[in-house]
Amino acid sequence: MNRLLLIVLLSIPSLLWSQKEFNISGDLSANAIFSSGDLAPFWLYSRQEGRWGIEKGSQFLSTAALSAKYATDDNFSVNLNLEADYNSQIYDFYLHSYNLDLNWHFLNLRAGRHSFNPIFEKGYEGQGSYLYGDNARPLDRITIGIPSFTSLPGFLKRFEIKGELSHGLLDDKHQGALKYHKDVLLHEKYGYLRWNGGRWKPYLGLNHSVLMGGYRYNGEKIPIDYLKAILGKSSEKIGGGDATNAAGGHMGLYDVGLYYFNDKGSFRFYYQLPFADASGMRPFVRNRDQIAGIMWEGKKNGILNSFTFEWINSSYQSGNGMPDARFELEDGSIVMVVAFELDDPAYREDLMRKIGVDNPGSYSKKDVSKYLRDNYNRGNRYGGRDWYMSNGTYPAGWTHYGMLMGSPFNLTYAQLAHKNPNLGIYSDGYQIVNDRFKAIHIGASGAISQNVFWDAKFSFSRNYGSYHHLYPGRYTWDETKDYFFKEGKNQLYSRIGLSWLALAEQKLEVNAVFGMDIGELSQSVGMQIGVSKHF
């Protein structure tokens, strides 16, 4: 199927060449990174769509990109996009992206290998979307919807909407990463509603990502219950934990905020809450994690063209109480109690009889819940340890070719193996070993002159690892001995870049980026240099 799609895409330029309203553009680039320390500097390889490897030393990247566009009028256009990359450190020569992009009025259809990064607009210099984003390599997918805010008709014209559905395939087993996906389906969608109040435009949105199907780490094929998975419903068809929880692996993100426009530029204020299950879907009750930020983009080129400030906290994850009541009885048997089972009086009485309490039939649902919390969960509410961007069925979690499909501050085993070779190896080697952190991020860009541009990113984070590794398997209060992240680890990532439009008429651009990491997770320094020719 991918081969046929590629043939169709490559044949379109010849079919459209005779049309007068046909434009073609491209880009050729050659880049290199030279670094020393533990790894390549964080901001030299992060948010680069997975084009760079993370290893220290030298690596070379060459890219060739082609874009062809045919438009009949303002209401219809066809775009062909293709990029081929070579980087010997990660995958030699490969097709980084290829897709057909159809636009009709406010509707858009994209098919092929393309990125899915709908949450932030051009000018965003932040840490990256917590969900989706541009940190990992694009995957084969089809996306349809309304990608830009569009007014509703008639008397509802003050309301603007946007949203898309995207369905793709994760199959990165050839990468040789610690854990990978095999024939896993990825379903993603988002919906936003905005009020057009002139200069002031408040909005709210919901983002959802689902992993489904594929194979378990023991080689067993996982059944697919597509409708139940995309709706977040339980599935008897899949069985196991999916029969009592939601089918598949789920991540979501609430997004509320405000746009403000004036003569000098635009502001966006945003407050986002990530969640992984039902307990995390309760804002400000069980969900205390957040991404709060402000983004500014100027209308005119100046010394400062854009600025982003963010506060990110993913350390709470519905608290450190176990996800469900799981404990061992005196006879050595293991009991797992799911909340809805306590609605049955007979089940409650049988459970309390097995535990060995007096008068087991006298316990109400509230009484049983309190007893289990006090005796097996140290007084904490169940439904905690949410395990962001990871899932028990999918050890690779939300990664693609070893890179996070979301915030790069979630760290994989490969990014920390130099500090602790045993971190993440046990418990089936789950790919993401640091998903709990607090961070402050500042990003900015601007123009020094008409032909010289700059950008910078500075990030400070305090990292706490993962509940899954602190309490191996999430269903115990026995902590990992000498846990690497026990008291938190501090880290600073930095980047300063310059680009020079050396020959404006010939569109030749030279760039240089300096990166440095300082802290308890990695010590690295390096530089990226490159040249690009646009045509």
The model's pLDDT over 329-380, given as tens digits with 9 standing for 90+, comes to 888 889 989 888 899 999 999 999 999 999 999 999 999 999 999 999 999 9
Tally of domains in the chain = 1
Residue 91's pLDDT is: 78
Structure tokens at 54: 């993370």
90 close to 400: Cβ distance less than 8 angstroms? no
Strand, coil or helix: what is 3?
helix
The whole-angstrom separation of Cα 128 and Cα 130 is 6
In a domain, 343, yes or no: yes
In a domain, 55, yes or no: no
More confident residue, 183 or 280: 183
In a domain, 360, yes or no: yes
Residue 332's pLDDT is: 85
CA 153 to chain CA centroid, Å, is 34
Start-to-end CA distance of the chain, whole Å, equals 31
In a domain, 348, yes or no: yes
In a domain, 196, yes or no: no
Looking at every residue in the chain, the average pLDDT score rounds to 90
Question: Over the stretch 85-130, which tens digit does the pLDDT of each residue have?
Answer: 999 888 789 999 999 999 999 999 999 999 999 999 988 999 999 9
Strand, coil or helix: what is 464?
strand
Structure tokens at 165: 């559905």
**What percent of the chain is modeled with pLDDT above 90?**
70
In a domain, 157, yes or no: no
Q: Which of 14-28, 151-165, 509-523 has the lowest mean pLDDT?
A: 14-28
pTM over 0.85: yes
In a domain, 350, yes or no: yes
User: Domain range holding 357?
Assistant: 334-376
The whole-angstrom separation of Cα 157 and Cα 150 is 9
**Confidence tier at 18 by pLDDT (50, 70, 90):** very low
131: which strand partners? 406
Question: Over the stretch 378-390, which tens digit does the pLDDT of each residue have?
Answer: 999 998 999 999 9
Half-sphere exposure of 214 (CA within 13 A, CB side): 28
**Confidence tier at 17 by pLDDT (50, 70, 90):** very low
Average pLDDT over residues 301-316: 95
In a domain, 367, yes or no: yes
Residue 461's pLDDT is: 98
**Confidence tier at 520 by pLDDT (50, 70, 90):** very high
